[in-house]
Every structure is written in structure tokens, then in C-alpha cells.
Amino acid sequence: MTGETTADNAAAAIVTAVASRAGHHFSKQVQLAIRLVTGLGVAGDGHAGATVKHRSRVARDPSQPNLRQVHLIHAELFEELADQNYEIGPGDLGENVTTRGIDLLGLATGTRLALGGTAIVEVTGLRNPCLQLDRFRPGLMKATLDRAPDGALIRKAGVMAIVLAGGDVQAGDPIRVELAPGPHLPLGVV
């Protein structure tokens, strides 16, 4: 996939799991459903809020807007990691929404994802893998990084988004992709 959605792959794009957790924890707990709240993120999650909640970013400037309200990871990454002997499941890497059938990393900045019946998130950028991954499983940070043929670093630990429209999201919900008006800019780290 290239980040664009066709009728064929649109039907296959689904939510496979949802997770949240109060407080600052690396992993999140799988839930039956999560509620996305416009402008804030996942209700009850430790990273919800209009301003940054990640400790390193709060230390630099607590008034920064929270561009990391919702963390999405593709389930295909778990399969890739399993091939490298890492058993990773939904919520383990701190994501709120696990997807299947969508090339999250290939989306353009500003792409909107409709999750379930009413929720809409806007993709703000890539999650930058950090040393917390190695604390969770030694060597995992390196396993979530790769190099493109031109030598550019590929970050595979998912994407971050903000909530434009709230609603409940659960496993099995469809994902509909709406590309931002052009020009389409590749995702950067947020």
C-alpha cells in the first residue's frame, strides 16, 4: 500500500484491538472499547490532554499542543517482530489502536482516519522509537528501525494522531481513510 486507499483495501482496513491505561506507563491494557474525546485523546488514558503529556516533552515546554493524543500501530508489525523472536501483543508498545490492512507508515501528514461509527483522528506524525522499547524487551528498539535503500531511517513503531471527532472505537471497527488535500507530505517524527 502507498497510503492511498482503494475500494479493495478500504474494506480490509480494520481495528484489531484497542487499549488505554491511566497514568504514565509504557504498556496499555487491552479494552473492549475506548472512547475518543475531541481535542483530548482517549478518555481516561494517561496521555490524553490538549497539551503534551509525554514526560520529556512536558519538561521542555508543558504548553506545547499534544500532537500525540492517540497512538496507532499496525498489527503487521507484531508479525514482523515475531519473526525476530519478539512476542508483542496489542497495547504492549503503548498504542491505543491496533490496525490491520492499512499502511500507517505510508500515510501523508494530515490524513484523516475514521474509526468505527463517529470517531475521526488526524495523523500528525511518526512515533520515534525510544529506549523504553529496550527496557520492555532488550533489542526491540533496533528491531523497530530499518534503513531505506537510500539510507534514510525508517521508524516502524506506529503513528500519532489527534482526535477531530469523538466516539467509541472497538476491535472489528472499520477504518476509512481520507487523504489530506495535496500536496501530500510524508510523515515526520512528532
* pLDDT grade for 105, boundaries at 50, 70 and 90: very high
Burial 152-165 (b: 16+ CB within 10 A, else e): eeebbbbbbbbbeb
- Supply the pLDDT for residue 57: 80
Residue 175 confidence (pLDDT) above 70: yes
Q: What is the pLDDT of residue 58?
A: 82
- Which pLDDT does position 82 carry in this prediction? 98
- On the question of pLDDT at 3 being above 50, the answer is no
- Band the pLDDT of 5: cuts 50, 70, 90: very low
* pLDDT of 8 strictly over 70: no
Residue 176: pLDDT over 60: yes
Residue 79, CA distances (Å) to 85, 87, 143, 170 in order:
10, 9, 12, 21
pLDDT tens digit sequence for 117-156:
999 999 999 999 988 999 999 999 999 999 999 999 999 9
Identify which of 151, 17, 155 has the alpha carbon closest to the alpha carbon of residue 92: 17
Query: Are β-strands 14-20 and 29-31 bridged in parallel, bridged antiparallel, or unpaired?
Result: antiparallel
H helices of 1-54, where?
Answer: 7-10
Q: Where are the beta strands (DSSP E) in the chain?
A: 14-20, 29-31, 33-37, 41-42, 70-74, 97-100, 112-115, 119-126, 145-147, 153-155, 159-165, 167-170, 175-178
Write down the pLDDT at residue 11.
57
For the chain, the structural domain boundaries read 7-178
In CATH, which of 1.10.220.10, 2.40.33.20, 1.10.10.10, 2.60.40.1930 is domain 7-178?
2.40.33.20
Selected residue with higher pLDDT from 92 and 181: 92
The pLDDT-based confidence of 182 (bands split at 50, 70, 90) is confident
State how far the Cα of 171 lies from the Cα of 151, in Å rounded to an integer: 36
Q: What are the Cα distances from residue 45, in Å, to 24, 110, 131?
A: 9, 23, 22
Radius of gyration of the chain (CA): 15
d(CA 169, CA 23): 21
pLDDT tops 70 at residue 113: yes
